[in-house]
């Protein structure tokens, strides 16, 4: 079996470390594994395949000889190194939002539009975490009838803001329990015992950048250029795994039974009909694995062609690291 040289750009961050873990779990045939990060993190040793691998500083020369580069960095760093990655001949699978809306860059969720990955194997974009989880939940239904619109509300874990988000919630919970001072830096307000209905940057239409991703990215992934989405993104005091409530309206009426069967049959999704006596998943149920759980499928009482459902998924894994590795795995399997 051919082995592949793989670099992880941003290997010391939460998503980068998860990528290494998933590469190992998925038994990707690795020849050379090259963890890359900023100069500050260079020299750090991280676990991989039962051993230790030393992190190297990312430079424009780092990507020579690589077959795949998985990106787990912010937009500026992704844009900085993308030209060098392309010149090296490697396929760049990027988790940032830098290239998601570029019409020449495929935006891929393998179970939904995996074939798009073969349209341009230079740069492939990983979608937003909440978008991936939501679209996985509704993609089976979209096979029965095109979706006209969605109304979504996301309940996003603090780990979506990185390690600092998790630490801030932990520190605030400790302070609450011990009568200490509540300090917030990562989030615009206290997150412990609170919710914050604002993620991203305000746009001209008064929606945030995070909220607009559901429509803009959903149109590309579902191949529905007229899809309309209204979304409210909420940060909640949950450590890991995002949850979304979504009401979708389809061109033709889909019954609850038909929707349940479509969800049950869709790869990567688990329909929750009974889990510990519940008909719905929680974030804890979905943490540290790759399935998207869907429950509470019911008729929308405001539209005869509408359905409402609840879904949860691990945003560090399926919402980021695992989706990127799954794209790479699909390309490798096609090449072999």
**Could you give the percent of the chain with pLDDT greater than 90?**
97
Residue 154 tokens, joined: 């996301």
Those residues whose C-beta lies under 8 Å from the C-beta of residue 286, and which sit 6 or more positions away, are 241, 292, 293, 312, 313, 314
Separation between Cα atoms, residue 144 and residue 151, nearest integer Å: 19
pLDDT at 1 over 80: no
Quick one: pLDDT at residue 120?
Answer: 82
If one counts every other C-beta atom within 10 angstroms of the C-beta of residue 45, the result is: 11
| Full-model pTM | 0.97
Separation between Cα atoms, residue 75 and residue 60, nearest integer Å: 16
pLDDT at 336 over 90: no
pLDDT at 316 over 90: yes
Q: Which of 231, 233, 242, 311 is catalytic?
A: 242
Separation between Cα atoms, residue 201 and residue 55, nearest integer Å: 32
Cα angle vertex 265, ends 262, 270, to 5°? Answer: 100
pLDDT in tens, 177-230: 999 999 999 999 999 999 999 999 999 999 999 999 999 999 999 999 999 999
pLDDT at 121 over 90: no
Cα angle vertex 188, ends 247, 217, to 5°? Answer: 35
**Section 281-308 average pLDDT:** 98
Quick one: pLDDT at residue 254?
Answer: 98
Separation between Cα atoms, residue 45 and residue 297, nearest integer Å: 46
What end-to-end distance do the CA atoms of the chain give, in Å?
8
Q: Let me know if 242 is a catalytic residue.
A: yes
pLDDT in tens, 67-112: 999 999 999 999 999 999 999 999 999 999 999 999 999 999 999 9
HSE toward the beta carbon, residue 173, CA cutoff 13 A: 10
Q: Which domains are assigned to the chain?
A: 4-127+320-335 (3.40.50.720), 131-315 (3.30.360.10)
Q: Which of 129, 231, 233, 311 is catalytic?
A: 129
**Section 241-246 average pLDDT:** 98
**Could you give the percent of the chain with pLDDT greater than 70?**
100
Give the chain's mean pLDDT: 97
The pairing of strands 147-156 and 242-250 is: antiparallel
């Amino acid at each position: 079996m051919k082995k592949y040289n793989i670099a992880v750009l941003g290997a010391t961050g939460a998503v980068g470390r998860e990528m290494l873990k998933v590469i190992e779990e998925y038994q990707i045939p690795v020849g050379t594994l090259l963890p890359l990060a900023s100069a500050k993190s260079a020299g750090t040793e991280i676990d991989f395949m039962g051993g230790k691998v030393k992190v190297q500083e990312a430079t424009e020369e780092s990507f020579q000889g690589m077959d795949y580069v998985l990106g787990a960095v912010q937009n500026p760093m992704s844009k900085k190194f993308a030209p060098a990655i392309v010149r090296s001949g490697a396929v760049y699978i990027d988790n940032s939002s830098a290239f998601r809306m570029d019409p020449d860059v495929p935006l891929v969720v393998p179970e939904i539009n995996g074939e798009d990955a073969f349209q341009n194997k230079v740069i492939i974009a990983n979608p937003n975490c909440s978008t991936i989880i939501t679209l996985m939940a509704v993609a089976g239904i979209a096979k029965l009838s095109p979706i006209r619109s969605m109304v979504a509300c996301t309940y996003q874990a603090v780990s979506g803001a990185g390690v600092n988000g998790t630490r801030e919630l932990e520190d605030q919970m400790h302070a609450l329990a011990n009568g200490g001072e509540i300090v917030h830096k990562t989030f615009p307000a206290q997150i412990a015992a609170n919710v914050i209905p604002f993620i991203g940057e305000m746009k001209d239409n008064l929606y945030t950048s995070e909220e607009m991703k559901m429509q803009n990215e959903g149109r590309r992934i579902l191949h529905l250029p007229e899809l309309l989405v209204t979304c409210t993104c909420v940060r909640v005091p949950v450590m890991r795994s995002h949850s979304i409530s979504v009401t979708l309206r389809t061109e033709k009426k889909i019954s609850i039974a038909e929707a349940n069967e479509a969800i049950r049959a869709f790869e990567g999704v688990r329909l929750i009909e009974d889990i510990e006596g519940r008909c719905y998943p929680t974030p804890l149920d979905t943490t540290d694995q790759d399935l998207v759980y869907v429950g509470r499928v019911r008729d929308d009482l405001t539209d005869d062609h509408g359905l409402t459902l609840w879904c949860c998924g691990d945003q560090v894994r399926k919402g980021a690291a695992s989706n990127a590795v799954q794209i790479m795995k699909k390309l490798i399997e096609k090449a072999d």
